[in-house]
Structure 1
Amino acid sequence: MLRALLAAFGLVELLFPDKLVAAMTRLAYEDGGEMTAKPWVTTAARVEGATLLLVALVGLRGRCGGDGEGEDEDE
């Protein structure tokens, strides 16, 4: 469940970084409406979203059986 939530958050952050940064700024600061993010923040948010999505999908793939590698290592 947690991996699915990470994947969803990562996807939103990857596709809509400006809107997510604006929403998080409004939540984090009392006067968040007047805050302006630096230009690199959008790129950093997009990279973070892609990383979260990748980690979550790799984890989900491993839980669902994936490609079969790593099974029966004890035999």
Structure 2
Amino acid sequence: MSRIVFGLVGAVVALFPEGVLEAYETVALENPDECSAKPWLVSAIRAEGVLYVLATLAGGRAYGWLTNVAGIAGLAAAVTPRQYLDAGASFAYERPEDVDWNEEFVTGVRVIGVMLVVLALSAFRKRRRTKSISPEETDSNTELE
């Protein structure tokens, strides 16, 4: 199920990066009209979406890597959501000091972070279980998640 979600999110992000950025700024920022994204941000958003899609289609180690990175980012977002967002703003916006986060969004980022940690741990446990089963015990249709 999580592979399907990552794949669908990746496809939407890859196909509509401008719309994703606009929706993000509308929800996340108190002052979206006062913030200027760096010129390459839309391309980076598209590349991230393509990466999600490729990793989910490849499965195995590629998907494992994606869930591990998502878990690490989720941990940072869950523990320190404002600092996590501020770090992203310094990367993505021309004047990050002008970015004013919507408080409900900061709370939402914490919740999403916790969900990503849970997802990553679940995927890790599933990979470990699959590795502990001998190849004779698995059928050819088993996929690593």
TM-score range, shorter chain: 0.7 to 0.9
What is the aligned-residue identity percentage? 26
Q: Name the one with the larger helix percent.
A: 2
**What is the match of residue 23 of structure 2?**
none
Say whether 1:25 aligns with 2:86. Answer: no
The answer as to 2:58 corresponding to 1:15 is: no
Greater relative contact order (CA < 8 Å, ≥ 6 in sequence)? 1
Q: Which residue of 2 is the match for residue 5 of structure 1?
A: 69
Query: Once the 2 structures are TM-superposed, how far is the Cα of residue 6 of structure 1 from its aligned partner?
Result: 1.8
Cα root mean square deviation, aligned: 2.0
TM-score normalised by length of structure 1: 0.79
CA distance in 1, matches of 2:105, 2:98: 16
TM-score (norm 2): 0.43
Q: Name the CA distance, whole Å, in 2 between partners of 1:3 and 1:37.
A: 26
Structure 1, residues 1-52: CA drift from partner, whole Å, max 9, x if none?
Answer: 3322222111111001010111111211101111110111211110110111
1:54 aligned to 2:132? Answer: no
Q: In 2, Cα distance between the equivalents of 1:41 and 1:23? A: 15
| Structure 2: 5+ residue stretches without partners | 1-64, 131-136, 140-145
* In 2: Cα distance, 1:29 partner to 1:20 partner: 14
1:44 equivalenced with 2:44 (yes/no)? no
